[in-house]
Amino acid sequence: MISAPLDIGFVGLGIMGAPMAGHLLAAGHRLFVHTRGKVPEAIANSRATQCVSARGVAERADIVILMVPDTPDVEAALFADNGIAAGLRKGKVVVDMSSISPIATKAFAQKINALGCDYLDAPVSGGEVGAKNATLSIMVGGPEAAFERVKPLFERLGKNITLVGGNGDGQTAKVANQIIVALTIEAVAEALLFAAKAGADPARVRQALMGGFASSRILEVHGERMVQRRFDPGFRIELHQKDLNLALSSARALGVSLPNTATAQELFNACVAHGGKAWDHSAMVRALETMANFEIGQTPA
b/e for 195-222, b at 16 or more Cβ within 10 A?
bbbeeeebbebbeebeeeeeebebbeeb
Q: How far apart are CA 8 and CA 126, in angstroms?
A: 23
Does residue 289 contact residue 193 with C-beta atoms inside 8 Å? yes
Is 174 catalytic? The answer is yes
Cα-based angle 45, 151, 141 (whole degrees, multiple of 5) = 110
Q: How far apart are CA 74 and CA 108, in angstroms?
A: 9
Q: 64 has which bridge partners?
A: 9, 94
Residues 6+ apart with CB under 8 A from 167: 105, 106, 109, 119, 120, 121, 141, 142
**3-class DSSP state of 74:** helix
Identified catalytic residue from 106, 174, 197, 277: 174
Q: 162 has which bridge partners?
A: 139
Residues 6+ apart with CB under 8 A from 192: 202, 205, 206, 223, 226, 227, 285, 296
Q: Catalytic residues, which ones?
A: 174
